[in-house]
Structure 1
């Protein structure tokens, strides 16, 4: 995670960003700290990246890379305003040890457009494209990670990253908003995950799919009340955290958390 010490909305690169509404920086930092504390209280180790001046979106640390079993596929951002974030994330993996970092040739935005399900079909990667990540990055990620990559086309600008439209609930189950995807991608998802928890547009617009799950606890923002009911009905325990300020930049819980998947020992 990376604290929102320099978080502002000073440019517009997604439909949720509004430069005319000021961000409450103190409130953003307070809400971020609440999320960090929640994850720690649930038993997770949280590594914190230093925030860097001039990178207001660095708080959305999920976009910086994508790791699977100790291999890290680096990010290459679509927009120049965020390009230097990739360098900061690479520095973390280079110094943390036990990671094999591979720099990308193609544009991709890390876990923003990649999700991993280690127990589904022997371990598969779901990958989004249509707004940020180039489809060529999917093939590149497959070569780097050695896992099958399933390409899914996003068609609604409001859900510009995969992690705004789909989330892993555990190692083999997902939840998603069907209409965020093309008809063909909807058919693929229905075939792969017939028991998925289906979200509606209200859930997605509340950033209810921008969640983090450890397989039991599902951490999601406080606005996603109905989504909380759905994951509870599916057997998970919802944990709500207020991230109203971070939503001003087009992200919520998942955007703020890069999940680390070290090599299996």
Structure 2
């Protein structure tokens, strides 16, 4: 099925501060290369038949390119974001306005800190919800109340994988005929959360450390194609063995800020 994505061009992309272990302001950043990589990601979605809408980037918000962190949309209901860091706090209001300007009527801004699809992954029946570094665990109950879907809490324990979407992605959503299928990196999660994932998804694709380190789990799947970083070769082989088609993109410049394909991509589910 065609997907509907929201993205934000990295027109003001920079690494001027460090709010995650991947960011180093002393390492040079090439904004033009970041824009080329982002454009290729956007165009890849369109070549695959998906709709992409764009939010206007704002000066002084270099991480606004990571649109996934600014909203969670399930069945047309929108739960906005409340960022954990002051550097990104202003992004939430720009995305709230975008939703309202584009006809979304059920838009709720959270009371608790949540970084949207950075820590929320919809499986078709359950919302997997990460915590440990950014999203407050109280936001999980808030998401359940606002979105009206069951929420499963998962604790992240490795600061390199500070968002759920750096350690797990949904390969295919559940439907009437089959359960959801996911891929994840076990060592990013607490022992208890690993047990929960094994119980819920016994047939999951398990990534190794090398694929996690190149942001291979920060992938986007439309149920057939899996868009992932060019370096994630072992993970690509594993998803191909399950019948999916890997599609490689270069996100090396964007990764300097701790982002990859999924970070750049918010999905609209109506």
TM value normalised by structure 1: 0.96
Map of 2:128 onto structure 1: 126
The CA distance in 2 between the partners of 1:204 and 1:154, in whole Å, is 13
For the residues of structure 2 that align with 1:19 and 1:238, how far apart are their CA atoms? 32
Q: Which residue of 2 aligns with 1:26?
A: 32
* Equivalent residue number for residue 145 of structure 1: 147
Q: What's the counterpart of residue 238 of structure 1?
A: 246
User: How far is 1:235 from its partner?
Assistant: 1.0
Alpha-carbon distance, 1:229 to partner: 1.0
* In 2, Cα distance between equivalents of 1:187 and 1:253: 27
1:257 corresponding residue in structure 2:
265
Matched, 1:100 2:102: no
Q: Distance in 2 between matches of 1:4 and 1:234?
A: 33
After superposition, residues 48-127 of structure 1 pair within 5 angstroms as 48-118=54-124, 123-127=125-129
Task: Give aligned pairs, total.
Answer: 258
Where does residue 211 of structure 1 map in the other structure? Answer: 219
1:147-166 to structure 2, matched below 5 A, reads: 147-166=149-168
Q: How does 1:165-184 map to 2 (within 5 A)?
A: 165-171=167-173, 172-184=180-192
Question: What CA RMSD, in Å, does the superposition of the two structures yield over aligned residues?
Answer: 0.6
For the residues of structure 2 that align with 1:144 and 1:201, how far apart are their CA atoms? 35
Task: Give the Cα–Cα distance (whole angstroms) in 2 for the partners of residues 206 and 226 of structure 1.
Answer: 11
Distance 1:227 1:254 in 2: 15
Please state how far the C-alpha of 1:99 moved relative to its aligned partner.
4.2
Residue ranges of structure 2 left out of the alignment (5+ in a row): 1-6, 174-179
Report whether the alignment pairs 1:40 with 2:42: no
CA shift for structure 1 position 98: 3.9
